[in-house]
Structure 1
Amino acid sequence: MPSGRRTKLFFDGGCRPNPGAIECAVVLKGVTYYQPDYGHGTNSDAEWLAAIQALEVARQNGERDIVLLGDSTLVVTQANGTARCRTAALEAHRARFAELAHGFDSIRIRHIGRAQNLAGIALARRHPR
């Protein structure tokens, strides 16, 4: 039974260059889960893979009532069904996300600013300028 308190997971993905090698990060309760090599793709692929990784991290940690927080408008709107996926690759990511979402008591996905995204901050620390 849900406790009424959602667990927040921050997610972010990127690639250098774009397209290029994908990396993702998820932050749950102050712990960063970093995936340094998710293959090759675009920034959109990276953001979707980070959202998918957030669901996997939540499941592995026994979380049932979650809110995913990310700075990708594309992923948030497509996951919420307010924007359509314009490529087969994005639709495949959305379908995988929906498949993994089953079994949770509650999932919300919300857009936040880049400066508030703890996962984005964690990725940026790996690439000092």
Structure 2
Amino acid sequence: MKEEKEAFFVARKGDIVGVYKSLTDCQAQVGSSICDPPVSVFKGHAMPKDAEKYLLSCGLKNALYSVKTDDLTEGLFGTLSPCGPSSFQLPSSSRGETSSELVSKKRPHEALWSGSGRSCTLEFDGASKGNPGQAGAGVVLRADDGSLICRLREGLGIATCNAAEYRAIILGLKYALDKGFTNVRVRGDSKLVCMQIQGLWKVKNQNISILYEEAKRLKDKFTSFQIIHVLRDSNSEADEQANLAVELADGQIQEEIDK
């Protein structure tokens, strides 16, 4: 009984890895995902303390976690075993193979950690001096190895903090698409934006709903999309760009490319 009580599920879909405390939550999230690449699901029986500490260091402390695959290490979650079709019904891939068939072709950790495609990390933040007040959006785009691709900032005129956060993620997603990125990992310290984009929180504000729909339209253009909430201390560079953007004219965009 104790082993089942401590059980958890690790699901990989595209470039997103989610950790769930119940099979029901795992099924719900995988089934409502934003795109349809092959899915691999694994069951663990006791999450190692080091894994709990690592997830907490990323600002992830609830039952649901989302982690970029580049941050994972072999054996982070201890021993994992593939979940078969009898315990977990998953959608077929575009090639007609079920997730369990895909898993059987690789060892569990190989299926979980491997990835492909042109990808980047997008860090976003918004600032408003008054809420509402003079506002700005800031974005930092990074390559897979963590090196800087560019910094972006946009003046927003008068806006709320939440609107500025949404304008920032929209700015970054547009830029990433224009540069040909197909896989994107998004990180921000706005829990509202992260939870709403994941479909976990409802959008109640009419003005925000317009921005939400624009962000959703953009994210659906990516082959693989992941968004995670991080602590403010882990988002300092995007925060700096957002505060610099407050001084810009409404609609003015500045771009700094790493040379």
Distance 1:59 1:13 in 2: 20
Q: Larger RCO: Structure 1 or Structure 2 (Cα < 8 Å, ≥ 6 residues apart)?
A: 1
**Higher fraction of helix:** 1
Report the equivalent of 1:53. Answer: 171
Residue of structure 2 aligned with 1:7, choices 111, 120, 136: 120
Higher alpha-carbon deviation: 117-126 or 22-31: 117-126
Give the Å deviation of 1:125. 6.6
Is it true that 1:19 corresponds to 2:132 in the alignment? yes
- The SS at the match of 2:174 is helix
Which residue of structure 1 aligns with residue 250 of structure 2?
Answer: none
Of 207, 220, 224, the residue aligned with 1:89 is 207
Contact 2:169 2:215 in 1 (8 A): yes
- The SS at the match of 1:39 is strand
Q: 1:103 and 1:94 mapped to 2: Cα distance?
A: 15
Aligned residues: 125
Shift in Å at residue 83 of structure 1? 0.3
C-alpha distance in structure 2 between counterparts of 1:123 and 1:41, whole Å: 13
CA distance in 1, matches of 2:222, 2:244: 31
Alignment partners' CA distance in 2, 1:112 and 1:97 = 19
Runs of 4+ residues over 3 Å off in structure 1 = 121-127
Q: Whole-Å Cα distance in 2 between the matches of residues 81 and 73 of structure 1? A: 12
How far the C-alpha of 1:102 sits from its partner, in A, is 2.6
Unaligned runs of 5+ in 1: none
Query: Displacement of 1:74 after TM fit?
Result: 0.3
Aligned residue type for 1:7 = C
**Alignment correspondent of 1:120:** 239
Compare CA radii of gyration and give the structure with the larger one. 2
Measured in 2, the distance between the counterparts of 1:91 and 1:15 equals 19
Give the CA RMSD over aligned residues: 2.0
